[in-house]
Amino acid sequence: MAPDHNEPALINRVIQRTADGSHTLFIPEINEHYHSVNGAIQEARHVFIDAGLRLLPKEKIRILEIGFGTGLNALLTLLETEKMGKSLIEYYAVERHPLPAEVTDALNYEELICPARKGLLASLHTAPWDMTVRITKRFILHKIKGDSNCCELPASLDLVYFDAFAPDKQPEMWNQKIFDTLYSCMAEGGLLTTYCAKGVVRRMMEKAGYSVERIPGPPGKREMIRASGHSSNVSIFSTKAER
């Protein structure tokens, strides 16, 4: 998740352990965590991998993440791409405040997810900004340093991970313009997933043109949102959450 763009350049971030043993970051000034305290890894897998990536049949997939943050979503996506046998992932991520190396180097994701791949997370964080970098044979990364409200976003998106801080903490990120823009950038059958399930967010997505469904959320959260962009012949919504 990406810090508020109005925050000062020096932000106090505290590494904390979540319920599944994985780390998250806590910002005391705004009383907000980067991930769920019920489990950072299991939340990311549920919201972005299980509810998004695994539903896409394409061999080549273009993804945009709003809020690169700790790099956890990108790391899980890279590893899942290999498991699924996808031929190529083009992964774009927008972040206004990249994390310093002393923070990212201390995160324990690799030791929990892929202990034999030490240095993989660092390769994501050290990749130059605003450049296309091939991290592995099947994973290309393009990090965009800037504000997603005003920077140029890639087109023909198959999947959007919307991982900004919660609307009450970062309201400027959850606006009609950004959802209109993201919808216009979607490929046919593209998906958008987010942990958020607020009615105001769902209504903005619907106004932009998305077909929106609230589905079961990760542990500790009742619901989340998955939205479909331009029409596809295949319905992705098989499970309705209790409303």
Tell me: the pLDDT tens digits for 40-94? 999 999 999 999 999 999 999 999 999 999 999 999 999 999 999 999 999 999 9
> What are the backbone angles phi and psi of residue 93, rounded to the nearest 5°?
-145, 135
The whole-number pLDDT of residue 243 equals 27
Architecture, CATH, for domain 14-228: 3-Layer(aba) Sandwich (3.40)
Residue 26 has pLDDT above 90, yes or no: yes
Distances (CA, A) of 188 to 4, 152, 154, 233: 31, 20, 15, 9
Sequence-ordered list of residues with C-beta below 8 angstroms from that of 143, at least 6 positions apart, any chain: 68, 92, 93, 94, 95, 98, 127, 128, 129, 130
Residue 32 has pLDDT above 70, yes or no: yes
Sequence-ordered list of residues with C-beta below 8 angstroms from that of 163, at least 6 positions apart, any chain: 1, 2, 48, 65, 66, 67, 69, 73, 194, 195
Domain spans in the chain, listed from the N-terminal domain onward = 14-228
What is the band of 5 on the pLDDT scale with cuts at 50, 70, 90?
Answer: very low
The Cα 102–Cα 93 span in angstroms is 21
Distances (CA, A) of 239 to 182, 225, 226: 24, 12, 11
What is the band of 230 on the pLDDT scale with cuts at 50, 70, 90?
Answer: confident
Task: Write down the pTM of the prediction.
Answer: 0.91
Bigger pLDDT: 10 vs 241:
10
Residue 29 has pLDDT above 80, yes or no: yes
